[in-house]
Protein backbone atom coordinates (compact mmCIF):
# COMPACT_ATOMS: atom_id res chain seq x y z
CA UNK A 1 0.00 0.00 0.00
CA UNK A 2 1.61 3.31 -1.10
CA UNK A 3 1.94 6.21 1.33
CA UNK A 4 -0.80 8.33 -0.23
CA UNK A 5 -3.31 5.52 0.41
CA UNK A 6 -2.07 5.02 3.97
CA UNK A 7 -2.22 8.79 4.52
CA UNK A 8 -5.90 8.92 3.59
CA UNK A 9 -6.73 5.89 5.74
CA UNK A 10 -4.85 7.30 8.76
CA UNK A 11 -6.64 10.66 8.40
CA UNK A 12 -9.97 8.85 8.22
CA UNK A 13 -9.17 6.98 11.43
CA UNK A 14 -8.21 10.21 13.16
CA UNK A 15 -11.32 11.97 11.86
CA UNK A 16 -13.41 9.28 13.52
CA UNK A 17 -11.44 8.77 16.75
CA UNK A 18 -9.61 12.13 17.15
CA UNK A 19 -6.76 10.45 19.04
CA UNK A 20 -5.37 7.07 18.09
CA UNK A 21 -2.31 5.03 19.02
CA UNK A 22 0.41 3.67 16.78
CA UNK A 23 -0.55 0.17 17.82
CA UNK A 24 -4.20 0.69 16.88
CA UNK A 25 -3.32 2.18 13.47
CA UNK A 26 -0.99 -0.73 12.72
CA UNK A 27 -3.70 -3.20 13.71
CA UNK A 28 -6.47 -1.59 11.63
CA UNK A 29 -4.36 -1.01 8.51
CA UNK A 30 -2.38 -4.27 8.72
CA UNK A 31 0.97 -2.48 8.55
CA UNK A 32 4.00 -2.49 10.83
CA UNK A 33 4.47 -0.09 13.74
CA UNK A 34 7.70 1.36 12.25
CA UNK A 35 5.77 2.16 9.06
CA UNK A 36 3.04 3.86 11.09
CA UNK A 37 5.61 5.95 12.96
CA UNK A 38 7.25 7.07 9.70
CA UNK A 39 3.84 7.95 8.23
CA UNK A 40 2.88 9.93 11.31
CA UNK A 41 6.15 11.84 11.10
CA UNK A 42 5.35 12.78 7.49
CA UNK A 43 1.81 13.87 8.37
CA UNK A 44 3.15 15.89 11.28
CA UNK A 45 5.59 17.70 8.97
CA UNK A 46 2.65 18.52 6.67
CA UNK A 47 0.90 20.11 9.63
CA UNK A 48 -2.05 17.71 9.51
CA UNK A 49 -1.54 15.96 12.85
CA UNK A 50 0.22 16.38 16.17
CA UNK A 51 2.22 13.54 17.62
CA UNK A 52 1.20 12.34 21.07
CA UNK A 53 2.86 9.85 23.37
CA UNK A 54 2.45 6.61 21.45
CA UNK A 55 0.11 8.00 18.80
CA UNK A 56 -1.33 11.07 17.10
CA UNK A 57 -4.21 13.53 17.06
CA UNK A 58 -5.63 15.92 14.48
CA UNK A 59 -4.76 19.57 14.83
CA UNK A 60 -6.71 22.68 13.84
CA UNK A 61 -5.54 24.26 10.63
CA UNK A 62 -4.54 27.89 10.14
CA UNK A 63 -7.16 30.21 8.70
CA UNK A 64 -5.90 29.97 5.12
CA UNK A 65 -5.12 26.24 5.09
CA UNK A 66 -7.08 23.73 3.00
CA UNK A 67 -8.72 20.83 4.79
CA UNK A 68 -7.81 17.46 3.24
CA UNK A 69 -10.53 15.86 1.12
CA UNK A 70 -10.33 12.67 3.14
CA UNK A 71 -11.31 14.55 6.31
CA UNK A 72 -14.01 16.66 4.68
CA UNK A 73 -15.52 13.57 3.11
CA UNK A 74 -16.00 12.11 6.59
CA UNK A 75 -17.87 15.14 7.87
CA UNK A 76 -21.69 15.07 8.01
CA UNK A 77 -22.04 12.07 5.68
CA UNK A 78 -25.75 11.56 6.35
CA UNK A 79 -26.40 15.26 5.81
CA UNK A 80 -24.64 15.13 2.45
CA UNK A 81 -26.81 12.19 1.39
CA UNK A 82 -29.95 14.15 2.28
CA UNK A 83 -28.76 17.21 0.37
CA UNK A 84 -27.80 15.11 -2.65
CA UNK A 85 -31.26 13.55 -2.78
CA UNK A 86 -32.75 17.05 -2.80
CA UNK A 87 -30.29 18.30 -5.41
CA UNK A 88 -31.41 15.92 -8.15
CA UNK A 89 -34.81 17.63 -8.13
CA UNK A 90 -33.07 20.58 -9.81
CA UNK A 91 -31.72 18.40 -12.66
CA UNK A 92 -33.41 17.11 -15.80
CA UNK A 93 -32.27 15.06 -18.78
CA UNK A 94 -29.96 16.95 -21.11
CA UNK A 95 -28.83 19.53 -18.54
CA UNK A 96 -25.37 20.95 -18.20
CA UNK A 97 -24.43 20.75 -14.51
CA UNK A 98 -21.54 22.43 -12.71
CA UNK A 99 -20.05 20.95 -9.53
CA UNK A 100 -17.43 22.62 -7.38
CA UNK A 101 -14.69 20.70 -5.57
CA UNK A 102 -16.62 20.24 -2.33
CA UNK A 103 -17.43 16.85 -0.84
CA UNK A 104 -21.07 17.94 -0.66
CA UNK A 105 -21.15 18.34 -4.44
CA UNK A 106 -19.29 15.05 -4.85
CA UNK A 107 -22.11 13.29 -2.98
CA UNK A 108 -24.43 14.15 -5.90
CA UNK A 109 -22.30 12.31 -8.46
CA UNK A 110 -23.62 8.74 -7.88
CA UNK A 111 -27.20 9.99 -8.29
CA UNK A 112 -26.52 11.38 -11.76
CA UNK A 113 -26.69 7.89 -13.26
CA UNK A 114 -30.49 8.18 -13.51
CA UNK A 115 -30.29 11.06 -16.01
CA UNK A 116 -29.71 10.96 -19.77
CA UNK A 117 -27.40 13.12 -21.87
CA UNK A 118 -25.93 15.13 -19.01
CA UNK A 119 -22.78 17.21 -19.34
CA UNK A 120 -21.00 17.86 -16.06
CA UNK A 121 -18.39 20.58 -15.62
CA UNK A 122 -16.39 20.16 -12.43
CA UNK A 123 -13.30 21.44 -10.66
CA UNK A 124 -13.03 18.19 -8.72
CA UNK A 125 -10.54 15.61 -9.97
CA UNK A 126 -12.32 12.90 -7.98
CA UNK A 127 -15.73 13.81 -9.41
CA UNK A 128 -14.34 13.81 -12.96
CA UNK A 129 -12.78 10.37 -12.43
CA UNK A 130 -15.97 8.83 -11.04
CA UNK A 131 -18.12 10.46 -13.73
CA UNK A 132 -15.84 8.96 -16.35
CA UNK A 133 -16.24 5.52 -14.80
CA UNK A 134 -20.01 6.01 -14.90
CA UNK A 135 -19.90 6.91 -18.59
CA UNK A 136 -21.16 10.46 -18.01
CA UNK A 137 -19.72 13.13 -20.30
CA UNK A 138 -17.74 15.59 -18.23
CA UNK A 139 -15.36 18.50 -18.53
CA UNK A 140 -12.76 19.03 -15.84
CA UNK A 141 -11.59 22.60 -15.39
CA UNK A 142 -7.94 21.75 -15.02
CA UNK A 143 -5.70 24.36 -13.48
CA UNK A 144 -3.59 24.24 -10.35
CA UNK A 145 -4.51 21.26 -8.20
CA UNK A 146 -4.95 21.80 -4.47
CA UNK A 147 -3.57 18.43 -3.43
CA UNK A 148 -5.33 18.29 -0.09
CA UNK A 149 -8.78 18.92 -1.58
CA UNK A 150 -8.25 17.20 -4.95
CA UNK A 151 -9.76 20.23 -6.67
CA UNK A 152 -8.48 22.67 -9.26
CA UNK A 153 -8.20 26.43 -8.85
CA UNK A 154 -6.45 29.32 -10.54
CA UNK A 155 -6.73 31.33 -13.73
CA UNK A 156 -6.84 28.29 -16.03
CA UNK A 157 -9.73 26.80 -14.06
CA UNK A 158 -11.65 30.08 -14.10
CA UNK A 159 -10.99 30.45 -17.83
CA UNK A 160 -12.48 27.02 -18.50
CA UNK A 161 -15.59 27.80 -16.46
CA UNK A 162 -16.04 31.09 -18.29
CA UNK A 163 -16.07 29.21 -21.60
CA UNK A 164 -19.31 27.39 -20.80
CA UNK A 165 -22.89 27.98 -19.70
CA UNK A 166 -24.71 25.70 -17.27
CA UNK A 167 -28.28 25.07 -16.25
CA UNK A 168 -27.38 24.67 -12.60
CA UNK A 169 -24.36 24.79 -10.32
CA UNK A 170 -24.11 22.93 -7.01
CA UNK A 171 -21.52 24.22 -4.59
CA UNK A 172 -20.66 24.46 -0.91
CA UNK A 173 -18.29 26.30 1.41
CA UNK A 174 -17.19 26.12 5.03
CA UNK A 175 -19.78 28.34 6.68
CA UNK A 176 -22.55 30.92 6.57
CA UNK A 177 -22.18 33.99 8.77
CA UNK A 178 -25.09 35.16 10.97
CA UNK A 179 -25.69 38.06 8.56
CA UNK A 180 -25.97 35.75 5.56
CA UNK A 181 -22.55 35.73 3.91
CA UNK A 182 -21.21 32.45 2.48
CA UNK A 183 -17.62 32.14 3.70
CA UNK A 184 -14.59 29.92 3.23
CA UNK A 185 -10.89 29.82 4.10
CA UNK A 186 -9.80 29.28 0.47
CA UNK A 187 -9.83 32.50 -1.54
CA UNK A 188 -8.91 30.66 -4.76
CA UNK A 189 -11.75 28.15 -4.44
CA UNK A 190 -14.16 31.01 -3.76
CA UNK A 191 -12.99 32.79 -6.91
CA UNK A 192 -13.77 29.68 -8.94
CA UNK A 193 -17.16 29.30 -7.27
CA UNK A 194 -17.97 32.92 -8.13
CA UNK A 195 -17.24 32.17 -11.79
CA UNK A 196 -19.47 29.08 -11.65
CA UNK A 197 -22.34 31.01 -10.07
CA UNK A 198 -22.06 33.67 -12.76
CA UNK A 199 -22.14 31.12 -15.61
CA UNK A 200 -25.05 29.02 -14.31
CA UNK A 201 -28.74 29.77 -14.74
CA UNK A 202 -29.41 28.53 -11.19
CA UNK A 203 -27.05 28.51 -8.20
CA UNK A 204 -27.79 25.93 -5.51
CA UNK A 205 -25.89 26.09 -2.23
CA UNK A 206 -25.36 22.85 -0.26
CA UNK A 207 -25.14 23.61 3.45
CA UNK A 208 -25.52 21.17 6.31
CA UNK A 209 -26.61 22.55 9.66
CA UNK A 210 -23.13 22.41 11.15
CA UNK A 211 -22.15 25.32 8.88
CA UNK A 212 -24.77 27.80 10.03
CA UNK A 213 -23.49 30.81 11.99
CA UNK A 214 -19.89 30.08 11.02
CA UNK A 215 -17.66 32.83 9.62
CA UNK A 216 -14.37 32.18 7.83
CA UNK A 217 -11.68 34.22 6.10
CA UNK A 218 -13.21 35.07 2.72
CA UNK A 219 -16.73 36.05 1.60
CA UNK A 220 -18.06 34.22 -1.45
CA UNK A 221 -21.38 36.03 -1.81
CA UNK A 222 -24.51 36.86 0.15
CA UNK A 223 -27.25 34.31 0.60
CA UNK A 224 -29.69 36.61 -1.23
CA UNK A 225 -27.60 36.29 -4.42
CA UNK A 226 -28.26 32.56 -4.92
CA UNK A 227 -31.37 30.68 -6.03
CA UNK A 228 -31.69 27.91 -3.46
CA UNK A 229 -30.20 26.45 -0.30
CA UNK A 230 -30.33 22.73 0.37
CA UNK A 231 -29.73 21.55 3.91
CA UNK A 232 -30.46 18.59 6.16
CA UNK A 233 -32.87 20.68 8.22
CA UNK A 234 -34.60 24.04 8.46
CA UNK A 235 -32.77 27.28 7.87
CA UNK A 236 -32.20 29.47 10.92
CA UNK A 237 -34.70 32.35 11.07
CA UNK A 238 -31.85 34.83 10.63
CA UNK A 239 -31.13 33.32 7.21
CA UNK A 240 -34.66 32.41 6.15
CA UNK A 241 -35.50 36.10 6.09
CA UNK A 242 -33.30 36.48 3.01
CA UNK A 243 -35.01 33.75 0.99
CA UNK A 244 -37.69 31.09 1.21
CA UNK A 245 -36.99 28.25 3.66
CA UNK A 246 -36.20 25.17 1.56
Q: Which residue spans of the chain are classified as CATH 3.40.50.1360? A: 70-240
Q: Which residue spans of the chain are classified as CATH 1.10.10.10? A: 3-60
User: Residue 62 has what pLDDT?
Assistant: 40
Binning the chain into helix, strand and coil, the percentages to the nearest 5 are 45, 25, 35
Rounded to the nearest integer, the mean pLDDT of the chain is: 87
Q: How far apart are CA 141 and CA 120, in angstroms?
A: 11
Give mean pLDDT, residues 96-123.
Answer: 95
**Cβ neighbours for 231, distance < 8 A, ≥ 6 positions apart:** 79, 83, 206, 207, 208, 209, 246
Query: Binning pLDDT at 50, 70 and 90, where does residue 64 land?
Result: very low
- pLDDT, tens digit, for every residue of 153-203? 999 999 999 999 999 999 999 999 999 999 999 899 999 999 999 999 999
Q: Does 4 score more than 60 pLDDT? A: yes
User: Residue 12 has what pLDDT?
Assistant: 76
CA distances from 152 to 44, 96, 135, 137, 141 (A): 25, 19, 22, 18, 7
DSSP secondary structure letter of residue 112 = G
Query: Binning pLDDT at 50, 70 and 90, where does residue 69 land?
Result: low
Does the domain made of 70-240 have the CATH classification 3.40.50.1360? yes
Q: Does 65 score more than 70 pLDDT? A: no
User: Residue 212 has what pLDDT?
Assistant: 92
Fold of 3-60: Arc Repressor Mutant, subunit A (1.10.10)
Q: Does 74 score more than 60 pLDDT? A: no
pTM: 0.72
Amino acid sequence: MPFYEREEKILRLLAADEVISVEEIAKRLYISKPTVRRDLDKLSKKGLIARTHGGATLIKKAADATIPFALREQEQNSAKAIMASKAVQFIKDGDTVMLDGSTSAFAIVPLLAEFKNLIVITSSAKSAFVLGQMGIKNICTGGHMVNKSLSYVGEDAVRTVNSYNADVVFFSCRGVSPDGFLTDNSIEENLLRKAMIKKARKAVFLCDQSKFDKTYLNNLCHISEIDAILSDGKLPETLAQYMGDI
